[in-house]
Amino acid sequence: MKEAGTPIAMLTAYDYPTGRACESYGVDVTLVGDSLAQVCLGYDSTTRLTLDEMLHHVRAVARGSKNPFLVADMPFGSYHAGPEDTIRSAVRLVQEGGAEGVKLEGGEELTESVRRLTRMGIPVMAHVGLLPQRHTSSSGYRVQGKDESSASSILRATRALEDAGAFAVVLEAIPSKLGEYISASVHIPTIGIGAGPATSGQVLVWDDLVGTWNGHKAKFVRRFADANAEHRRGVLDYVDAVKQRRFPNESESYGVDEEQWQHFLK
């Protein structure tokens, strides 16, 4: 798709219905992102999410997903103790979860793991720029690659990960010019989130896109729908209808044969 100049549309999914939606609406790559931690499970950070929790959701998405390429995020801590540990975690995501590829956050420190996974046939998507799993040590969620040394370290990391076998790379929260420069400097597709319009594709978090997330809205988020407003309207109306005995009506209720009913009353 990169070679053909066809933009790649990637979107997160966290359960069977969102997986089905990605399948039905033409998403190219479905990502079970560890943003799952915040948008579905109410944690304050992705670093809280365990591999078992991730697996539970990957399985649900996989049941509803055939066509899009299905990538699962490797949770914080599941690939940091070394390549062996990384392999065991990635194998679980593929074998038990049904993922087709895995994504991990980081740079050159991951090249050995990426090489090993790639060699054994597990496609790896890299993730550089803003790394949410390192939000504590990077003092929050900030745009990366604004100065020369940060920009060259992101470029160097991307090249190293490509060399190690990564099939694609997510570029998160970097200046558009750097997104464009990196996209032109590597052969693998770049998938941007806050990396400007020149990357090979884009990715968004489901809840940001459809408007079911009420928390912080990053600069790079566009709310393509306002599902929250529709949920609110429906639920408020339902509660009111119950209280006012407007629900259910006759057509929403089961009838009975009048003769039999008279028997029953005797």
Residues that bind ligand KIV in the complex, under the rule CB under 6 A: 12, 31, 33-35, 73, 170, 193, 203, 205
User: C-beta of 41: minimal distance to ligand KIV in Å?
Assistant: 12
- Please check whether residue 11 is in contact with residue 206, taking contact to mean a CB–CB distance below 8 angstroms: yes
User: C-beta of 218: minimal distance to ligand KIV in Å?
Assistant: 10
DSSP 8-state secondary structure symbol assigned to residue 20 = H
Distance between terminal CA atoms of the chain? 74
Instruction: Clarify whether 172 is annotated catalytic.
Output: yes
Interface mask toward Na ion for 61-100; x: CB under 5 A: ------------x---------------------------
Q: Which of 15, 28, 34, 162 binds Na ion (CB under 5 A)?
A: 34
Residue 168 binding target from Na ion, ligand KIV, none, CB below 5 to 8 Å by type: none
Return the range that interacts with Na ion (CB under 5 A); candidates 29-37, 62-70, 138-146, 176-184: 29-37
How far is it, in rounded angstroms, from Cα 73 to Cα 54? 8
CA distance to 103, 163, 187, 198, per residue, from 149 (Å) = 25, 21, 23, 22
User: C-beta of 73: minimal distance to Na ion in Å?
Assistant: 4
172 scored as a contact of Na ion (CB under 5 A)? no
Residue 11 binding target from Na ion, ligand KIV, none, CB below 5 to 8 Å by type: none
Q: Which of 11, 27, 29, 33 binds Na ion (CB under 5 A)?
A: 33
User: C-beta of 50: minimal distance to Na ion in Å?
Assistant: 14
What is 79-117 written as a DSSP string?
SSS-HHHHHHHHHHHHHTT--SEEEEE-SGGGHHHHHHH
How far is it, in rounded angstroms, from Cα 204 to Cα 31? 10
Place of tokens 């999914």: 13
Residue nearest to ligand KIV (CB): 33
Distance of CA 176 to the CA centre of its chain: 21
DSSP 8-state secondary structure symbol assigned to residue 250 = G
User: C-beta of 80: minimal distance to ligand KIV in Å?
Assistant: 16
User: Catalytic: which of 23, 105, 162, 172?
Assistant: 172
- Please check whether residue 161 is in contact with residue 114, taking contact to mean a CB–CB distance below 8 angstroms: yes
Interface with Na ion (CB under 5 A): 33-34, 73
Give catalytic residues, as residue numbers: 172
